[in-house]
Amino acid sequence: MRLLGVDYGLRRVGLATLDAEVGLAFPLRTIEGGVVGDVVKRVADVVREEGIELVVVGMPLALREEDVSGMKRVVEEFVGVLRGVVGCEVEVWNEQMTSAMVLKQGREMGLEKGQVDVDAAAAAVLLGDFWEYKKRAQG
């Protein structure tokens, strides 16, 4: 089974893949954000090209339940449109702090911000977290 992780943003959308046999997520690329329908089409193209069976979209969940994020609504809209187009299952996963984690790890390795594809790496982090959770849940 092949999975695609999506770190959705208004300006950039990070993509990562995971092959279930290997169980490791790898950054794929970052595509330009913009109009939801255009982004969905590009993601659907990647799904087809990469033979993806499950798409996992990062959902920006608030630290406190009463915090309502405008970005959460945007991602929910994106997911709704994506589900109607890609022809495979789409799930959401908490992507909170993934970009910050990637930047921190990059700094610890001595890399500058521009040397890391933060969006694709964040998609790999959220996809890896999702996969580890699913494996543990299956026992």
What's the one-letter identity of residue 40?
A: V
pLDDT value of residue 99 = 61
pLDDT value of residue 17 = 97
pLDDT value of residue 63 = 53
Residue listed under structure tokens 């890399």: 111
Report pTM.
Answer: 0.86
Q: Where are the alpha helices (DSSP H) in the chain?
A: 36-50, 70-83, 98-108, 118-137
Domains of the chain are 2-137 (3.30.420.140)
Q: What pLDDT tens digit does each residue of the chain (139 aa) get?
A: 999 999 999 999 999 999 999 999 999 999 999 999 999 999 999 999 999 999 999 998 765 555 456 888 899 999 999 999 999 999 999 876 666 665 555 455 554 666 556 788 889 989 998 999 999 998 7
- State the first-to-last Cα distance of the chain, in angstroms, to the nearest integer: 18
CA 100/CA 51 separation, integer angstroms: 30
Taking the alpha carbons of 33, 71, 83, 131 in that order, is the dihedral positive or negative?
positive
